[in-house]
Structures are given as structure tokens and as C-alpha cells.
Structure 1
Amino acid sequence: MGTSPDRSFFPGSHWLYFSVYLLAFLVGLPLNLLALVIFVGKLRRRPIAVDVLLLNLTVSDLLLLLFLPFRMVEAASGMRWPLPFILCPISGFLFFTTIYLTSLFLTTVSIERFLSVAYPLWYKTRPRLGQAGLVSVVCWLLASAHCSVVYVMEFSGNSSYSQRTIETCYQEFREDQLAVLLPVRLEMAVVLFVVPLLITSYCYSRLVWILGRGASHRHRKRVAGLVGATLLNFLVCFGPFHMSHVMGYILGESPVWRSLVLLLSTLNSCVDPLVYYFSSSGFQADFHELLRRLRGVTAPSQQEGSMELKVQKEGEGQGQDCTVQTV
């Protein structure tokens, strides 16, 4: 059978899930909202292909974060599903789809960055917005089609679903369900993780080699940050989770540690803003400008508060002077 919520490493481990989900929500949501504002502004001013791809990645992360509260409720309930049945496949489908969208869009961004450095003249004369839009649609369809297995598993002939009540959400599976699910997971690990990782590794290794021959220190530093954030996503956030797919296929059941390493995948929504930040100098400039504007909005209220405090202190000082003179 698959992973059961009772099979945990320590008592109360569901609070670890809740804490990680809450951390991802509190950190990832504001950062991705800032990125959304910046990319929309960039596309209005001077649209380029890589910004189209990064905008889609931002929307994907926001979908994950907006449905993350459902996971928090599940964790707070001891990894039981207290919500209406229909929310289980929806939240699971979006949760896993956004994970694979991240790997696909990170790969397309690596290709774009490689082409912009390896063939700069050709790249500048071809904005390729239409191609970027088409690639984005293909990524969404590819990830969605694979993750539709969530619906297949949740609706596959369990009489208890006719009452729309379930105890767990996408955690416990029958033998006949595992016979379908485990090969699909292995195929997803290969097609949606290993192949994108290989392509991304090739593009960025070539990019680093080309820039090492004469790029400025600032440019090399930005590319190093981009490569580091991307590999952090692939190797740390996604690597252990997809290793569980391989181990599950070999063992014939979901590994007990699968749900724990899935927590690392949740954190990709906090790592992706680093990819945005190092993606271009234009994004960095827009990011700092937006932060200055946000600080400017809060600064007047702080200044007003400090002025009121100053006037109050001056009034108290004058009162004390009058008292001394009277005495």
C-alpha cells in the first residue's frame, strides 16, 4: 500500500508540514507578487521572450501558494482531509502541476539565456514573443496532462467517494491503483525532471564557459547567481522527490519518506524569486525601484508619527519650563 498518514518519523510530525507550508506561504507570496508586478510592467514597456516565460513561472508559483492553505488545513488536522471532497483532487492537481511547471520553465529560461549569449546578434533581431507564448502553452499542457493522474486515482472506483467523504487526500492507494500510479510517476521523473535537468545543465555549462572568456565580473556574478538558484531548485527542491518516484517503482509502493521530501518541493516558490532576481539586470533595477516606492509609501506615515511625537515632547518641555518659572 501507499504512504499512510500514520507512518511518520516522529509524533506530531504533521506540525512540521504545517510549519513548512506556512513558511513557504509567508515568504513566497509577497516575493512572487512583487515579481508579477515587475514582469507585467516589463512586458508593457519592452516585451522579450524570457520575460514571457518567467511571467508564466510566476503565475505557476502563485497558484501553488494560493492553494497552499488547503495543505495547511490538512496538516493541522493530523494529515487527515477535513475539507469537502472536491477540493482534494483540485488542490493535489494544482500542487503537482506547479512543481513540474517550474522544472519546465526553468529549462526554457536556460535555453533562452544560452541563445542570448552564444548567438547575441541573432537573438537581438528575433524577439520571438509568439514562440515564447507557444512554448508556455505546451509547458502548461504537458504538466497538466501528466498530473491529471491525480483525478484518475481519486475517482478510481471507490464507493466511499459517492458520499464525497474521504479520510486522506492522495496518500493511501490500493494495489490496483499503485499498478497504474508507480509507472506513471517513473515516466514523470524521466520526462519532466531528468530530461529538463540535462538540458538545463548543458545550457548553463556552455553559458559559463562562454562568459569565462571575456564577460564582465558583474555579468559573470549575475549568471553565477542564476545558475546557483536554478540548480538549487532542481537538485535540492526536486531531486529527492523524484528519487522517491524511482524508489517507489523499484519497491512497488510509495516510500514512507516521500511526503517529507515533498516538503522540499514546496519551497521552490521561495527559491524561484532568486531566479527572477538574477535573470537580468533590468529585473534587479525594477525590483530595487519598486522597493523604494513601497518604502516611500510607508515613510510619510512614519514621518507624521515622528513629528507628532516631537511636538508632544516639545509641548511637555515647554510645560516644564513654565512650571519652573512659576515656582
Structure 2
Amino acid sequence: MILAVWIPLLMPLLAVPAARRAAQSLPPRAAAWLLTGCAVALAVCTATALGLLLAAGALRLPPVAALGHLSLPLLGGDPAVTVPAAWAAAGLLTGCAATVVHRARRHRTELRTARRAADAHPRSGDLCVLPDPAPDAYALPGRPGRVVVTAGMLRALPPAEREALFAHERAHLAGRHHLFLLTAALAAACHPLLGSLRAPLAYALERWADEAAASRVGDRRVTARAIGRAALAAGPSAPGPHRPGTVLAATAGPVPRRVAALLSPERVPGHPPIRRGCYGRRLLAAALLACVTFSTAAALDAAADLHETVEVAQGEAAH
């Protein structure tokens, strides 16, 4: 177990770059699911490995071994290594759990604060207008979800582009995109390397909403102009005081790349996709699948090995 248990802790070194590269060659929706699924799988494997290290070291302690009726000599491993590793794993697991709870609570608190602020202003259906001169717009999830826009943003866009902007934010609500970001943030609490998946995930979610808005309004150029004009109006200033840090906005991310993607020729339905780079994409997908599978298999193997060792030690102690 002592070797297999380290594999899930090291595998993100290979899996995270592969996931980032693979997401670049996928449609936005598929890229968002890939990045989120990869983050969850690697985080679960990391937490499992830390738990196994903690269990293996704790079982070496005489009080724990006596409680489980174990024969210490048959547990194997060097106590000088397994016990300190267990203490380190306990500290890391505690830190992970505290970070997960803190981020989840902060997310909930920010949403509640934003909804109270939005409910204090006039609404029209799912649209809420804040009397703020600073241009801003974002999707506020909840029951029901709200599209929050400031008076400054409404003044900055002509009517057709406003509708494209609203369609973008409604796509965020319909796809529950904030849950993708929250899941990735909670996964990053288990392994620091997983934090680097947030930027490509946010970009994929924005592109997903861009395409949904373009389909809704029926004009990719109008959607591109709406995104670009809204970003220019908002400028590099910080988000408004009421916008939660975990929600998505049309002005976020690398806007020039998003506008260029919207202005690129759309593939005709039924037309076969371009095969250029297909081999490279398959290699990336295979590498990522191998990394996640190997990490999962290593965690399961370490768990099975620890379980078998404990059973042998219990059987010997019984004799």
C-alpha cells in the first residue's frame, strides 16, 4: 500500500495539464463537463489516499491496534514512516475539510446577500435592474434565478444587444453554471494543482453561454458585439459590491477570444467536422483517461491492501 497510496497525490501533475489541453479542443459544453469531472475524480482520489495514509499510521498506534484487536507485527511498514505520514495526512485532511466548509458557506452567504439586494429593487420577470451607474450584469442563481443588470449597463447597450446579453445570462442560469465553478472550487481544496482548472472552466462556461445566446437571438454578430461592448463598458474595474464572487458574468474571461469565436464561421449542421488535429485530441483524451483511471485504480488497490493487512492482523491476534 505504501507505494500505491502516493500515486493519487502525484497524478494531478500529469492529469491537470492534459485536462487543460484537452478542453481547448472540445466544444464548450463538453469542455466544462470534462474539466469538472476531472477535478472531482482527482479530488476524491486525493482525499481517499490521505485517508488511507491516516488509517495506516493510526493502526500502528498501540491503543488503536488494541481497540481493533490487531497484531502489530503483522501490520507491516516502518512506524517511523507511517506514523508521521499519518499525522501529516490528518493535518491535510482537516485543512481540506475546513476549506470545503468555508468555501461552501461563503458561496451560500454571498448568494443570500446578493438576492436580498436584488429583491429590494424593481423586477420584471426574471430581470432585476439595479440603479447603479457602473455597468455590470450577471446571473444570480436561486429559486427563481435572476438576471441582474445595472442602469449603467442598460445605457451602454442598444436594445438588440441587451437581448443578447440577457440571453447569455439566462443560459448561465439554465445550465446551472455556478455549480460547475463551485464544484471545481471545492475540489481544489483537496489538491492545490486542481485550482489551475478554474480559469479554463470559467472560459468554457462563458463560451457555452455565448453559443446559447447566439442560438437564442439568431445572430452571432449581434451577440459578439453585445459581449464586446459590455466588456468595454464595464472596463477593468472591480465587480459591483452586490455581485457574488462565485457567479458568472458576460464580461468575464478573455473577451477577445470569445468574440473571435463567435465571429468565426459556424459549421453547417450535418457537415463532417474538420479532422485536422483529431489524432492529437485522441492522444490527449487517452492520456487524461489513463491518468484518472490509474489514480482511481491505485487508490482502490491501496484500500484493498490495507483491508487485507488488517484482516490478517486481526486473525493472528485472535489466535
TM range (shorter): under 0.3
Which protein, 1 or 2, shows the higher relative CO under an 8 Å CA cutoff with sep ≥ 6?
Answer: 2
- TM-score normalized by the length of structure 2: 0.25
Give the structure with the larger helix fraction: 1
